[in-house]
Amino acid sequence: MWPRVSEPLKIPCVVAFARLGREVEVAAGELLLEVLEQAGVAIASLCRGGSCGTCRVRLLAGAPVIESRHGLRQDQREDGWILTCCARTVPGQRIVLDL
Ligand code: FES
């Protein structure tokens, strides 16, 4: 008989800041912009809704859930930029940002 599981498994996500040499472990489904703010990493933001492009950061590794790319030009998208206000952490992932 299998043991009874009373709570769902919570698999965290690691968000690493490559140039700062730091990383944090966070829950899945968190907005990257909020992860950065809570970690004390300086990042500008204005609309917080995916249209201004202010919160953009280059993604070096990992595959966050992308909710919008409207605030990015095509060349920025192709060069790996994401909008941190529109990207969420994924269980078990290591997301590396160029910060
Ligand atoms: S703050 Fe405007 S796109 Fe993220």
Residue 13 Cα to ligand 1 middle (Å): 22
The enclosing domain of 76 has a CATH number of 3.10.20.30
Q: Residue 88 in contact with residue 15, Cβ under 8 Å?
A: no
Q: Which of 32, 43, 48, 68 maximizes ligand 1 atoms within 8 Å of its Cβ, making it the mutation to test the pocket?
A: 48
63 within some domain: yes
- State if residue 76 touches ligand 1 by the CB under 6 angstroms criterion: no
Q: Look at residue 76 and tell me if it is in a domain.
A: yes
Would 77 be classed as within a structural domain? yes
Residue 72's domain comprises 13-97
Strand residues in 18-66 grouped as ranges (E): 22-26, 56-61, 65-66
The total number of structural domains in the chain stands at: 1
Using alpha carbons only, give the angle 58, 63, 68 rounded to the nearest 5 degrees: 70
Tens of pLDDT, residues 13-36: 999 999 999 999 999 999 999 999
Residue nearest to atom 3 of ligand 1 (CA): 50
Question: Does the residue 26 lie in any domain?
Answer: yes
**Which tens digit of pLDDT belongs to each residue from 40-79?**
999 999 999 999 999 999 999 999 999 999 999 999 999 9
Say what the pTM is.
0.89
